[in-house]
Amino acid sequence: MLAGFNASANAQDYKVIAKEYCGCFEMIKDTMNAVYRELLVKISNEDDIKAALKRETLKLNEEKRKEFSTQMTKIGILMDSDESAAGECGLELDEKYAAYNTPEKEKEFGEKLITALKDLPECAFFRAILKVAIAFSDELE
């Protein structure tokens, strides 16, 4: 299936790949309420995502902070689970694009997807999730 792709994909290839991943994660968009989705997009557009996340969540009352955190956790679980349609779809794409998304190149792959997603306004939520995940990826290693 990857015969037309090589390990050094160009920008157009990444637009195709980004659109495919976006389609997977559109399935979980509604697991987060619209206000929190907008907040996540706002946070992801800041230069310092970690500081923005802290600042913006501190503006929420305790109940809303817990709700936002719970919804973020749920999205993370769904994205990584082969028991959800979105997760299964994403895992299939991970296999399909394994040449791009090696453990050594995971962050670079994500950053290239983020760049490609700039031109896809319908994918703003997925782009936000990806940007926040990359911002915190160093803490997960």
pLDDT score at 5: 40
* pLDDT digits (tens), the chain, 141 positions: 333 344 456 777 899 999 999 999 888 988 899 999 999 999 999 999 999 999 999 999 999 999 999 999 999 899 888 899 999 999 999 999 998 888 888 889 999 999 999 989 999 999 999 999 999 887 654
Does residue 133 belong to any structural domain of this protein?
A: yes
H helices of the chain, in order, are: 11-25, 34-44, 49-58, 62-80, 85-96, 106-117, 124-140
pLDDT score at 10: 72
Does residue 48 belong to any structural domain of this protein?
A: yes
Whether the pTM exceeds 0.75: the reply is yes
Of the candidates 25, 19, 139, the one whose C-alpha atom is nearest the C-alpha of residue 89 is: 25
The domain total for the chain is 1
Does residue 4 belong to any structural domain of this protein?
A: no
The parent domain of residue 54 ranges over: 10-140
Query: Which residue's entry shows tokens 């994918």?
Result: 123
Does residue 2 belong to any structural domain of this protein?
A: no
